[in-house]
Copies of this chain bind each other. A is one copy, B any other.
């Protein structure tokens, strides 16, 4: 077996370093990304979009709130309690960096923008 010069693999160490562990869970990625281009979203809309239970969604949203990726506001529409979730400015920046890092990992390297 002769040793041809192996085709180099793009350097992915930097991409790995920019992955956001807080967005590693796909449901959390879905929650934050859904909030990206909207002012806010109602809890039940997110729940129905993702097809998860109230308790699962609550758990994810609390975790995302704790690390500053989303903000939660509670209020009423008429007499009915409502919960709205919105992405924070920090959340937007970190989401973009995470998606870019995923793109690099999935597409074979930072140089191939």
- Point out residues on A near B: beta carbons under 8 Å: 1-3, 6-16, 19, 24, 26-27, 29-30, 33-34, 36-38, 41-42, 45-46, 48-52, 75-78, 95, 99, 101-102, 105-108
> How many chain copies does the complex carry?
2
Contact A30–B45 (Cβ < 8 Å)? no
The docked-state distance in angstroms from the alpha carbon of A25 to that of B73 is 32
B50 touches A13 (CB 8 A): yes
Asked if B1 contacts A49 (CB within 8 A), the reply is no
Residue among A15, A37, A95, A102 with the highest chain B CB neighbour number at 10 A: A102
A30 in contact with B76 (CB, 8 Å): no
Q: How far is the CA of A48 from the CA of B105 in the complex (A)?
A: 14
